[in-house]
Amino acid sequence: MTNHHTPKPLRPSTLSRKVGQRPGTLSLPETALPPRLFLMSYSQESFLEQECASYTALQEALAANPNLNHWIDLRGYSDLGLLEKLRDDFQIHPLQMEDVLNDYQRPKVEEDSGRLFIVSRMITFNDKHRLEDRQLSMFTGPNYVLTLQSDYVDCLEALRERLRIGKGSIRKRPISYLMYAVQDTITDYYFPAMARIGEYAEELEDCLFDNPSRSLLSQILDLKREVVKVRRIVWPERDKINELMRMEDDLVPDELEIYFKDVYDHTIQLMDLVDNYKEMTSSLSDLYLSNVSHRMNEVMKVLTIISTIFIPLSFIVGLYGMNFSRENPRGGINPLNMPELYHPYGYLTLLVVMALVVTGMVYYFYRKGWLRSN
């Protein structure tokens, strides 16, 4: 029987490089998708969006608009040559490129000669009640932001729409504001996932009261572990935002500080939510165990009451099933051997006695409160 729902722990297979291999070696998971290259180029006045058919097309587009800000967005990692070209042209350290390909990295920010390398995680809580989290890697440069992700779908579409329609100040701001906007959008994206976790927790709670099945505890403990995983992602996310907030003016302009402070507050709210859910799952598992033992007690009580009522009755009827003989084998009678059996009203009297016994016991149990279902 393996159809239980225990989540797989983070598997160490997340380290893409083999033991002893040269650091910085790029190796691809077999499931890597073919790359798609998107480019958005913008300034306050102009906006260009295209999907580049090849890396050469990207290079040409960048060269054609040296005064615009560029958001280069690579999705899908199956082309190792493309990744190596990116690495070389955008002066990315081989170890950082390795981090991009590894599918598990904690949120972090690294600074390297005026450029930032930022790892973020986009989480969703899927229909199987498992946490999915995918990595978004970002490199910043003087007039570009380069994002890389392994999948085609992400949570940044609303942000792209803001760029397209040019609403608000986003196109007027320097490129570092785009970097902030990506961080902000990703952080906001945690909240719907948290809402789904909360709904699922309430669903489990309803099950707990309605129909506590055997697998429920397993589900509760699974949810607890998912919640702990979120915590382990939000914690370094918070540290990352804090680090960005405190960076020097040339890396993150001072005017962005208050914006990052806002994101930082959101991550703290996330921590509060996570802690709330953690306690909620803890009290759910306590309640489950208490409920199970309560049901067991109900069953025991029924047994006790029925047994305790019938056992004395069974004794009484057994008593008058004895064969003590009125007739003495040596002749004559034994008048003291069960004379009740020969009394005209013996049977009726006994029935009344048994009814009284039952009544007395039921009254006793009622007084003890055992007949009330609590």
Which of these segments, 47-55, 120-128, 145-153, 346-354, binds a copy of itself (CB under 8 A)? Answer: 346-354
Coil, strand or helix: which one is 170? Answer: coil
Nearer to a copy of itself, 28 or 292 (CB): 292
- Residue 116 CA to residue 353 CA, distance in Å, equals 92
Q: Distance between CA atoms of 338 and 335, rounded to whole angstroms? A: 8
> Counting contacts by CB under 8 A, is residue 80 touching a copy of itself?
no
Cα separation, 374 vs 291, in Å, equals 12
Which alpha helices (H) appear in the chain, and where do they start and end?
55-64, 80-89, 94-101, 157-165, 175-210, 216-245, 257-319, 346-368
Helix (H, G, I), strand (E, B) or coil at 171: coil
Q: Which amino acid is at 81?
A: G
- Six-digit token string for 363: 């009254």
Nearest distance in Å: CB 56, a copy of itself = 29
Question: Which of 51, 60, 151, 157 is in the footprint of a copy of itself by CB under 8 A?
Answer: 157
In the complex with a copy of itself, which residue's Cβ is closer, 64 or 158? 158
Please provide the distance, in angstroms rounded to a whole number, between the alpha carbons at the two ends of the chain.
36
Of 4-12, 72-80, 131-139, 239-247, the window that binds a copy of itself (rule: CB under 8 A) is 4-12
Q: How near is the Cβ of 237 to a copy of itself at its closest, in Å?
A: 14
From 34-42, 57-65, 141-149, 268-276, span contacting a copy of itself (CB under 8 A): 268-276
SS3 33: coil
Residue 54 sits in the site that holds a copy of itself (CB under 8 A): no
* Phi, psi angle pair for 209, to nearest 5°: -85, -30
Question: How many angstroms separate the CA atoms of 48 and 56, rounded?
Answer: 17
Give the binding range for a copy of itself (CB under 8 A) out of 37-45, 62-70, 74-82, 327-335. Answer: 327-335
Q: Which of 53, 64, 153, 268 binds a copy of itself (CB under 8 A)?
A: 268
Q: Which stretch binds a copy of itself (CB under 8 A): 32-40, 54-62, 242-250, 286-294?
A: 286-294
| Residue 363 interacts with a copy of itself (CB under 8 A): yes or no | no
Site residues for a copy of itself, 186-215, by CB under 8 A, read 188-192, 194-195, 198, 201-202, 205-206, 209-214
Distances (CA, A) of 199 to 6, 120, 280: 19, 25, 12
Size of the site for a copy of itself (CB under 8 A): 142
Does 63 participate in binding a copy of itself (rule CB under 8 A)?
A: no
* Interface pick for a copy of itself out of 333, 353, 355, 356 (rule CB under 8 A): 333
Looking at residues 162 to 191 of the shown chain, list those that interact with a copy of itself (rule: CB under 8 A).
Answer: 162, 167-170, 184-185, 188-191
Residue numbers 304-323 binding a copy of itself by CB under 8 A: 304, 306-308, 310-315, 317-323
Handedness of CA 267, 271, 276, 282 (dihedral sign): positive
Q: Token pair 């390297």 is at which residue?
A: 112
Among 27, 44, 59, 334, which residue sits at the site for a copy of itself (rule: CB under 8 A)? 334
Q: Indicate the residue type of 47.
A: F
